[in-house]
Every structure is written in structure tokens, then in C-alpha cells.
Amino acid sequence: KAGVTQTPRYLIKTRGQQVTLSCSPISGHRSVSWYQQTPGQGLQFLFEYFSETQRNKGNFPGRFSGRQFSNSRSEMNVSTLELGDSALYLCASQSDPGSTDTQYFGPGTRLTVL
């Protein structure tokens, strides 16, 4: 089975722009979660999607949004980028939320905001 894939792997944007990141979960997985990783704040939960519905949300401003499609692929969008949004964005997939099944992480998208 192919693992979790994230595109693009690297992105450079300037302040004020917006960006869309994509995540394709493992085949058969219906739950997708997003995390932001920075040296200062560590790994922080952004949101979780299941069956095209946001099931859970972390403490991030409304500039951060996401969605899930019927094939379970997910995208996250960050509008009006700030320097502090520079981070590694990780996507994880799981068969079903709340299950004891393993969450598998993708390699991440490294976003740099200049």
C-alpha cells in the first residue's frame, strides 16, 4: 500500500499571499488530520476531517482552513500568510477516528514565508 503523500514538499511564499497544501491518505483511510510543526511551538494539531466533515479543530486563527473530498483526499489553506506561518505541515491518516488503529504521517510540506 502506498503511504500518505503530501504535495508540494517545499513551498516559498511571501507575506500576504495564500497557500494550499494537499494530502492523499492511505487507501481505505477515511480520517485525515493536519499538524503544524515549528521549533518554538512543536507539533500542534490544526484540524481533523472525516467523511468530508471537520470533526475537530485546534487553536488556530480562521486564516487556517481545510476541507476533505469524497475520495478522502484533503487540502488545507492558509490565507494572508504571516512570517510565523513558516513551518512543516504534516498530514496524518487513520482508518477511522477514535479507533485504536495507527495514525500514519506523510513526509510533510515545508512552507517558508518571506
Partner 1 sequence: AQSVTQLGSHVSVSEGALVLLRCNYSSSVPPYLFWYVQYPNQGLQLLLKYTTGATLVKGINGFEAEFKKSETSFHLTKPSAHMSDAAEYFCAVSDYNQGGKLIFGQGTELSVKP
Among 13, 55, 67, 73, binds partner 1 (CB under 8 A): 55
Q: Nearer Cβ to partner 1, position 17 or 65? A: 65
Give the residues across from 6 on adjacent strands: 23
Residue ranges in 26-45 that form contacts with partner 1 under rule CB under 8 A: 31-33, 35, 42-45
Residue with cell 506561518: 85
Nearest alpha-carbon partner for 110 in 48, 17, 39, 24: 39
Number of residues that bind partner 1 (CB under 8 A): 27
**Which positions touch partner 1 (CB under 8 A)?**
4, 31-33, 35, 42-45, 48, 50, 55-56, 58, 90, 92, 94, 97-98, 100, 102-108
